[in-house]
Amino acid sequence: MEELAAYDPSWPLLFEQEAAQLKQLFLPQSVAVEHVGSTAVPGMVARPVIDIFVGLFPLLPLAQYEQLFLYTDYRQCPAEKAGRYSFYRPALQIAGYSLHLLPMAGFYMQSELLLRDFLRTHPKAVMQACKIKQAAFAQCCTDPGTYAKAKAALHAQLLGTAATPHRAPPCTGGEPAVKQKPNTVFFPPVTRTS
């Protein structure tokens, strides 16, 4: 398991670069790409893994995405939650990538997005979360399962106090690109040209 690291301002830049590549990879599907997890929250300690949610319309069968990623460094891994597909790309230099493909329907109500938005606007909660994460990591750094349970309990506690949910424009597949919060990239469908 990777060590916890202090917040690195390059993490959002790494996300932006990866999001641009994912946009091309998923053409012609309608795609929303979001930076989630601890690396998406300024000031948060984190394992150097950029968590990315990709909302897709439609979400195709897993086998099609496995084929799509066949010649990339991404490898399919077990999804932590039902209704999504997960892929992982190990760190080549600064950070690894954890990619989660989800259906566009309900995409912006995912708890990870709500938690990210809450933490971005509540610096005291970030400080509290950092202390809890560091203590949990120190106690179970050799047992990823125990650390994941401690982190899940923290997330549940923070989500219980989260303010208003994140609202995003609906994706009908034909609208122009819209401007959203930082580290949010929306790509309307585009047709490929040969």
Residue 15: which CATH number? Answer: 3.30.460.10
* Most confident residue range from 110-114, 131-135, 187-191: 110-114
Q: Considering only CA atoms, which of 41, 22, 40 is closest in space to residue 31?
A: 22
Between 145 and 40, residue with greater pLDDT: 40
The answer on pLDDT for 139 being more than 60 is yes
Query: Listing from the earlier edge strand, what are the strands of the sheet with 184-187?
Result: 75-77, 85-89, 96-103, 49-57, 30-36, 184-187
Q: Considering only CA atoms, which of 98, 125, 134 is closest in space to residue 3?
A: 134
Computed over every residue of the chain, the mean pLDDT equals 82
The answer to whether position 55 is within a domain reads: yes
Q: Considering only CA atoms, which of 67, 46, 62 is closest in space to residue 100?
A: 62
Q: Containing domain of residue 44, as a range?
A: 10-187
The answer to whether position 81 is within a domain reads: yes
The answer on pLDDT for 169 being more than 70 is no
The answer to whether position 53 is within a domain reads: yes
The answer to whether position 194 is within a domain reads: no
The answer to whether position 114 is within a domain reads: yes
Structural domains counted in the chain: 1
The whole-angstrom distance between residue 154's C-alpha and the CA centroid of its chain comes to 17
- The predicted structure's pLDDT at residue 194: 45
The answer to whether position 1 is within a domain reads: no
The answer to whether position 4 is within a domain reads: no
Report the C-alpha gap between 50 and 172 in whole angstroms: 28
DSSP 8-class letter at 54 = E
The answer to whether position 173 is within a domain reads: yes
Q: Give the predicted TM-score (pTM) of the model.
A: 0.79
